[in-house]
Copies of this chain bind each other. A is one copy, B any other.
Amino acid sequence: MAGSSLAASDGAEPDALAALSALLADELARCNRTIVQRMESPVPLIPRLAAHLVAAGGKRIRPLLTLAAARLAGYPGAGEGRGAERHIQLAACVEFIHTATLLHDDVVDESALRRGLASANAVFGNQAPVLVGDFLFARAFQIMVKDGSLRVLGILSDAAATIAEGEVLQLAIQNDLDTPESRYLEVIDGKTAALFAAACQVGAVLGESSPAEERALAEYGRNLGMAFQLTDDALDYAAEQSDLGKTVGDDFREGKVTLPVLFAFSGGDAAERAFWKRAIEEGTQAAGDLPRALSLLERHGAIAATLARAEEFAGAAHRALALFAPSPLKARLTALTDFAVHRRR
């Protein structure tokens, strides 16, 4: 089973994200309330659809990173029970940008599940998710304008443009199994890592970090995002459906070119390459194809190799924190780099 490549992870801390959430529980709760308040609109379908996603949960990794980075960087408002709000508002804003891209992704991918629930497009059709995504994106900018920092606006508008570029680039490689690994990494650097990096950098800006610390936090976020995405790509072929919150083999059925597939394809013989070409590039699939794909991925160590890449990025994220003094928060952020790779969902 492909899942066996995750067996080595059993000894790792499975709760690093929960531990970070616990440390920041007060601020995360305020952020969640802000999210609910700020998706209000006189148009009822907007909060209704947005609530569908919020109800589905999600790990809130990105807003947590903003809250954590603000505290690590010494933003005076960070911490339990303090009055200042900027990091709360901007964390919500980061989550809005993320949610907007999820809504648009699901339309693009025609996904049936998101976070274990029916995806917004499956429930509401394509129309509302496109428009509500636009609303959340605009609302994020309204929040930033109210915050008033042109630096923050610059960081997040740059991230938003980079995300869109990454997503378009992903479309462009979608039918190309000869995509080099470097190009694939470029795609996820845009579609995932850019917002992780920006979420951290915004926190650093709030704390008026030194340029070196700001760069370090952005680097931490970027590498953590890469580790998370590559692990997601692996888990799509390896996790149990109940754990993953989406259908195992989703990426396969959607004909998505991801790193495990690129590894199996480039290492495969002619018959195997023909199989991948048919299933992924042509999108012609039959019963038994997914088990065959899983067995080919296993044979070529493609899941393990993908997770090894994820490990490298997690290591870089870990190292990026070196210039911060030891603290319980730093320990949690460090543990998160392990968690990114050694998790089951």
- Whether the Cβ atoms of B43 and A165 lie closer than 8 Å is yes
CB of A125 to closest CB in B, whole Å: 9
CB of A122 to closest CB in B, whole Å: 15
- Whether the Cβ atoms of A131 and B150 lie closer than 8 Å is no
- Whether the Cβ atoms of B107 and A126 lie closer than 8 Å is yes
Instruction: Pick from B126, B130, B141: contact of A141, CB below 8 A.
Output: B141
- Whether the Cβ atoms of A131 and B108 lie closer than 8 Å is yes
**Contact-residue bracket for chain A:** 35 or more
A295 touches B (CB below 8 Å): no
- Beyond A130-B108, A137-B137, whether A46 also contacts B168 by CB under 8 A is yes
List, in ascending order, chain B residues with CB within 8 A of A104's CB: 130-131, 134
Kindly supply a per-residue 1/0 record for chain A positions 24-41, scoring 1 wherever the CB is within 8 Å of any chain B CB and 0 otherwise: 000000000000000001
Copies in the complex: 2
A145 touches B (CB below 8 Å): yes
Instruction: Pick from B43, B133, B164: contact of A169, CB below 8 A.
Output: B43
- Whether the Cβ atoms of B157 and A150 lie closer than 8 Å is no
Please measure, in the bound complex, the distance between the C-alpha atom of A154 and the C-alpha atom of B148, giving whole angstroms.
Answer: 10
Kindly supply a per-residue 1/0 record for chain A positions 65-109, scoring 1 wherever the CB is within 8 Å of any chain B CB and 0 otherwise: 000000000000000000000000000000000001100100110
A129-171 interface with B by 8 A CB criterion: 130-135, 137-139, 141-142, 144-145, 148, 150, 153-154, 157-158, 160-161, 163-165, 167-169, 171
Residue of B nearest to A169 (CB): B43
CB of A191 to closest CB in B, whole Å: 10
List, in ascending order, chain B residues with CB within 8 A of A157's CB: 138, 141-142, 144-145
Residue of B nearest to A147 (CB): B150
Please measure, in the bound complex, the distance between the C-alpha atom of A138 and the C-alpha atom of B128, giving whole angstroms.
Answer: 20
Please measure, in the bound complex, the distance between the C-alpha atom of A153 and the C-alpha atom of B172, giving whole angstroms.
Answer: 32
A182 touches B (CB below 8 Å): no
A42 touches B (CB below 8 Å): yes
Given A108-B127, A142-B154, 7 extra CB contacts under 8 A = A43-B165, A107-B130, A132-B168, A134-B160, A138-B157, A139-B161, A142-B157
| A-B CB proximity, top 4 nearest | A135-B164, A138-B160, A141-B157, A138-B161
Question: What are 6 A-B pairs with beta-carbon distances under 8 A?
Answer: A46-B164, A100-B134, A127-B171, A130-B130, A138-B161, A138-B163
